[in-house]
Amino acid sequence: MIDAGTAVITIAAGRHDHLTRQRQGLRRSHRQPDLHLVVSMGDPQIAAVVDDDERAPRLPTEVVHVDVPGSGLPLGHARNAGARRAIELGASTLIFLDVDCIPGDALVERYSSCVQGETLPTLYSGTVGYLPPPPATGYLEEDLAALAEPHPARPVPGPAELIAGADPALFWSLSFAVSSRTWQLIGGFCEAYLGYGAEDTDFGQLARARAVGLTWVGGAPAYHQHHASQNPPVDHLADILRNGRIFRDRWGWWPMGGWLDRFETMGLIRHDRAADDWLAVAR
């Protein structure tokens, strides 16, 4: 039985090289997690990736499999499954790390310290910098911080800085930590969302509704590995509209407003003001 006091939870479908580099980063950590819990979303190869990657120093790992019934990945369901299993194994600190993220060497230690020192229920969110495409030799550990560009819409606190009272609408699921007690207070992610968008914004609103604060954490950096993407994410338009409606029905407003405005400018959608609905434009 794994003694999982501090568990890192990663959900994955594909991105095998990214997962391997993330695990290399966890091994380099000043403090390794007691458990890396990897949730495979309909990807039977994830277990093989983890098995191939088991090398010294050993990283205690468990793989959980969840089904993907349709075309959209069940991101909320997968995170809930990972948290549930981690808590069953005794985890009191839950660190969620997107499969694209390489942890900085202080991330696990810093998050664990924040959670263990918690006085009020809090979500802790570290910085995420975006990496360019890797060179032919791959990313070098010592270059990550210099290469990564910070997100323009998120603060970048200093290494020892905490910024409490953050806007819960800015919560993101790329990298965050929470105590198991606070996780259970929030109740986990809403599982109605499938595919791209809104499930993490919904989680931030659930936290707010239960008086759980959001704190930006300096000194717990993660580095987002490059992958092909669209800006705006036209390929995810159907997901964004479907998930946006679910969010509107739950909270009374539309998330992802920047994307919706861009899609409208491109002539892809229009806003029905009477129904407060965004509709795809036939082309």
pLDDT in tens, 151-160: 888 899 999 9
Structural domain that includes position 88: 6-224
Q: What tens digit of pLDDT does each residue of 188-204 get? A: 999 999 998 899 999 99
| pLDDT at residue 136, rounded to an integer | 82
Clarify whether residues 14 and 107 are in a common domain.
yes
Q: What tens digit of pLDDT does each residue of 241-254 get? A: 999 999 999 999 99
Examine residue 256 and state whether it is found in any structural domain, yes or no. yes
Clarify whether residues 248 and 213 are in a common domain.
no
- Measured in degrees and rounded to the nearest 5, phi and psi for residue 104 equal -65, 160
Contact 4, 93 (CB under 8 A): no
Q: Where are the beta strands (DSSP E) in the chain?
A: 6-12, 35-41, 61-66, 93-97, 101-103, 122-130, 149-150, 162-163, 175-179, 213-224, 269-272, 277-280
Contact 125, 166 (CB under 8 A): yes
Separation of alpha carbons 226 and 153, rounded Å: 19
| pLDDT at residue 53, rounded to an integer | 64
Question: What average pLDDT is seen over the chain?
Answer: 93
pLDDT at 4 over 70: no
Clarify whether residues 20 and 105 are in a common domain.
yes
Examine residue 1 and state whether it is found in any structural domain, yes or no. no
| pLDDT at residue 231, rounded to an integer | 77
Residue 57 pLDDT class (50, 70, 90 cuts): low
Residue 54 pLDDT class (50, 70, 90 cuts): low
Assessment of whether the complete model's pTM goes beyond 0.85: yes
CB atoms within 10 A of CB 72: 16
Total domains in the chain come to: 2
Examine residue 220 and state whether it is found in any structural domain, yes or no. yes
Clarify whether residues 29 and 117 are in a common domain.
yes
